[in-house]
C-alpha cells in the first residue's frame, strides 16, 4: 500500500532531479541499492556518537550518485543526533591555503551546520544556546555563576587550539543573550564561523586574541566537535564534496599541501586522537587513483588508501577508508524509476503516468541508445525520465508509447548527430 506524499516533498525531489542536482530532502523516497555501503557509513556514525573518529572517501564517477549518497548519510547522521557540517570544495575553498581559501571553507561549513531540528543549516546559534542553557541549569544547581560554569566546562579542552578564546566567545554570547545585546551575539557567531579576518577586529568586538585562520581550520573543527558534544549532541560529521577540485589545482605544491592535510585528518582518525569527529569526502576515481596529480601521487596516502588485494572477483572489503560506489544494477535502476514515478504521482498509484511496461520500454530505449552507462551513471537518464513525466502530465493526450516510439524511430533513421548523448541535454524535450 502506497503512502501519500506531500506536494512540498514531491516538488523538492522532482524539481531537483529535473535540474540534475541532488535533493536536499526526501532522499529516502527514491533510495535504492547500495545497502552494504550505507550500513558501513551507519557504523561510522555510531562510532562518532561513541566518541570515536572516522574517515571515509566516497569514490564514484561523475553522475554515479556520490552527492546523493553523501546527502543520505547526512540525513541518517542528523536522525542519530549528530551535527553535520557540509560544503563543496571549489577554487576558493580548500583544506589548506595561505590566501584565505581554507578559512573560507571553514566559514562555509559553519554556515551550513545542521541539526535534526534545523536540517537546512544555520544551526550554530542554536547549538551555542543549548550549551548555555545546560550551563545555566548546572550553575543554578551548584550555586555558581553561569560564566564560571561555562569556563569550567570548556577547561577540559586544554590540549586544543583556541580553547581559551572559545570560552571567552561563549561567555560573550551569554552576556549578549542576558543583556539583550544582539551585536555581541552576532560577533560571537561571526568568530565561531571564522568570519573575522583580523585579530584586531576580533579583539575590539569580543576581547579575544585569536581568530580562525587558514592554519587553524582543522584544529578548530576538532575543537568544535568537542564543544558540540558538551552541548548535548552526539558528535560532528564533516561532509565535503567535489574533492576533484584539489586534483585540478595546477600548482603541485598547493595540491601536495592539501593532500598533506588529508593525510593529517586520516592519521588522526585512525589513531583516535580526534573525539566525536568524522569526515566523509566525495571524489572521482581520477582524484584518488591518478599517480601524477591524484591522492596516489602522495606516497603516504597511496599506501594508506590502496585497495585490499584480496577484495577481487566480486569480493568486497568495506573496512578500509575508501568506499567505492558500486554501479546500480538494471534491477536497481528499474526500482528507482518506479519510485520516481510514485513520487511524481504523490504516492497515488491511480495517478501513475506510465505503467511498469513503459518503464521497461524506457530502459530498453536508453540501453539501445547509450549502452549500459545509462544505469552506471544515472544522472542524465533520471533527468530524461522526469522530463518525460512532465510532458505526459502537461499533455494529457500524449501517449508514452508514441514518445518512446518516436525516439526509437529517430534512432533507427540514423540521425546520429541529433542523438549524441550529452551530459546536460539528453532527451531534454522529447522532441528529437
Cβ(132)–Cβ(189) below 8 Å: no
What's the CA gap between 351 and 396, in Å, rounded? 12
* Average confidence score pLDDT of the chain: 88
Say which residue, 326 or 55, is predicted with more confidence: 55
pLDDT classification of 248: cutoffs 50, 70, 90: very high
- The proportion of the chain whose per-residue pLDDT surpasses 90, expressed as a percent, equals 70
Task: Return the axis-axis angle of helices 379-394 and 400-412, rounded to nearest 10°.
Answer: 130
User: Residue 372's pLDDT is what?
Assistant: 59
The answer on pLDDT for 432 being more than 90 is no
The answer on pLDDT for 158 being more than 90 is no
User: Residue 337's pLDDT is what?
Assistant: 94
Say which residue, 364 or 282, is predicted with more confidence: 282
The answer on pLDDT for 431 being more than 60 is no
Q: Which of 201, 238, 199 is nearest to 93 (CA)?
A: 238
For cell 575508501, name the residue: 322
Report the pLDDT averaged over residues 56-72. Answer: 88
For cell 529535473, name the residue: 18
The answer on pLDDT for 263 being more than 70 is yes
Q: Which long-range contacts (CB under 8 A, 24 or more apart) does 52-55 make?
A: 52/272, 52/275, 52/276, 53/268, 53/269, 53/272, 53/273, 53/274, 53/275, 53/276, 53/277, 53/278, 54/269, 54/278, 54/279, 54/280, 55/265, 55/266, 55/269, 55/270, 55/278, 55/279, 55/321
User: Residue 281's pLDDT is what?
Assistant: 97
User: Residue 419's pLDDT is what?
Assistant: 28
Question: What one-character DSSP code corresponds to residue 350?
Answer: G
Say which residue, 373 or 174, is predicted with more confidence: 174
Least confident of 42-51, 127-136, 294-303, 377-386: 377-386
Question: What one-character DSSP code corresponds to residue 432?
Answer: -
User: Residue 314's pLDDT is what?
Assistant: 67
User: Residue 286's pLDDT is what?
Assistant: 95
If DSSP codes are grouped into helix, strand and coil, which group holds residue 23?
Answer: coil
Other CB atoms within 10 Å distance of the CB of residue 58: 23
The answer on pLDDT for 213 being more than 70 is yes
- The proportion of the chain whose per-residue pLDDT surpasses 70, expressed as a percent, equals 90
User: Residue 327's pLDDT is what?
Assistant: 73
For cell 585512525, name the residue: 270
Query: How do residues 370-421 score in pLDDT, each as one tens digit?
Result: 665 666 667 788 888 999 999 999 999 999 998 887 554 333 323 223 323 3
pTM: predicted TM-score of the whole model, two decimal places: 0.85
Give the Cα-Cα-Cα angle 235, 241, 245 (nearest 5 degrees).
135
User: Residue 143's pLDDT is what?
Assistant: 93
User: Residue 430's pLDDT is what?
Assistant: 33
User: Residue 376's pLDDT is what?
Assistant: 60
Cβ(361)–Cβ(45) below 8 Å: no
Report the pLDDT averaged over residues 3-9. Answer: 88
Amino acid at each position: 500500500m502506497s503512502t501519500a506524499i506531500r506536494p512540498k516533498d514531491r516538488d523538492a525531489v522532482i524539481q531537483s532531479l529535473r535540474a540534475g542536482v541532488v535533493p536536499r530532502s526526501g532522499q529516502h523516497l527514491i533510495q535504492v541499492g547500495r545497502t552494504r555501503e550505507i550500513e558501513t557509513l551507519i557504523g561510522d556514525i555510531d562510532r562518532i556518537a561513541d566518541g570515536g573518529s572516522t574517515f571515509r572517501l566516497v569514490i564514484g564517477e561523475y553522475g554515479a550518485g556520490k552527492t546523493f549518497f553523501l546527502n543520505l548519510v547526512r540525513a541518517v547522521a542528523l536522525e542519530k543526533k549528530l551535527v553535520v557540517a557540509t560544503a563543496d570544495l571549489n577554487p576558493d575553498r580548500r583544506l589548506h591555503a595561505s590566501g584565505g581559501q581554507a578559512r573560507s571553507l571553514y566559514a562555509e561549513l559553519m554556515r551550513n551546520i545542521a541539526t535534526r531540528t534545523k536540517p537546512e543549516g544555520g544551526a550554530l546559534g542554536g547549538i551555542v544556546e543549548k550549551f548555555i542553557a545546560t550551563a545555566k541549569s548546572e550553575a543554578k544547581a551548584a550555586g555558581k555563576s553561569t560564566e564560571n560554569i561555562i569556563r569550567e566546562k570548556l577547561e577540559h579542552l586544554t590540549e586544543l587550539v583556541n580553547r581559551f578564546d572559545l570560552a571567552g566567545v561563549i561567555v560573550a554570547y551569554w552576556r549578549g543573550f542576558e543583556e539583550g545585546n544582539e551585536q555581541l551575539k552576532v560577533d560571537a557567531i561571526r568568530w565561531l564561523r571564522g568570519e573575522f579576518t583580523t585579530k584586531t577586529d576580533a579583539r575590539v568586538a569580543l576581547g579575544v586574541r585569536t581568530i580562525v585562520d587558514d592554519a587553524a581550520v582543522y584544529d578548530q573543527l576538532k575543537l568544535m566537535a568537542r564543544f558540540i558534544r558538551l552541548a548535548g549532541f552526539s558528535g560532528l560529521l564533516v561532509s565535503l564534496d567535489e574533492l576533484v577540485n584539489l586534483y585540478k589545482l595546477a600548482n603541485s605544491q598547493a595540491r601536495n599541501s592539501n593532500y598533506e592535510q588529508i593525510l593529517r585528518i586520516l592519521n588522526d582518525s585512525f589513531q583516535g586522537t580526534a573525539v566525536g569527529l568524522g569526515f566523509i569526502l566525495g571524489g572521482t576515481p581520477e582524484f584518488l587513483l591518478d599517480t601524477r596529480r591524484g591522492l596516489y601521487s602522495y606516497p603516504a596516502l597511496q599506501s594508506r588508501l590502496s585497495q585490499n588485494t584480496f577484495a577481487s572477483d566480486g569480493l568486497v572489503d568495506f573496512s578500509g577508508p575508501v568506499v567505492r560506489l558500486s554501479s546500480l544494477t538494471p534491477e536497481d535502476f528499474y526500482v528507482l524509476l518506479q519510485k520516481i514515478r510514485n513520487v511524481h504521482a504523490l504516492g497515488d498509484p491511480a495517478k501513475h503516468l506510465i505503467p511498469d511496461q513503459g518503464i521497461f520500454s524506457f530502459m530498453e530505449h536508453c540501453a539501445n541508445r547509450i549502452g549500459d552507462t545509462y544505469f552506471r551513471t544515472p544522472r542524465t537518464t533520471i533527468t530524461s525520465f522526469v522530463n518525460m513525466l512532465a510532458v505526459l502530465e502537461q499533455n494529457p493526450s500524449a501517449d508514452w508509447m508514441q514518445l518512446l516510439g518516436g525516439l526509437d524511430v529517430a534512432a533507427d533513421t540514423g540521425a546520429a548527430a541529433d542523438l549524441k548523448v550529452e551530459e546536460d541535454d539528453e532527451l531534454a524535450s522529447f522532441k528529437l
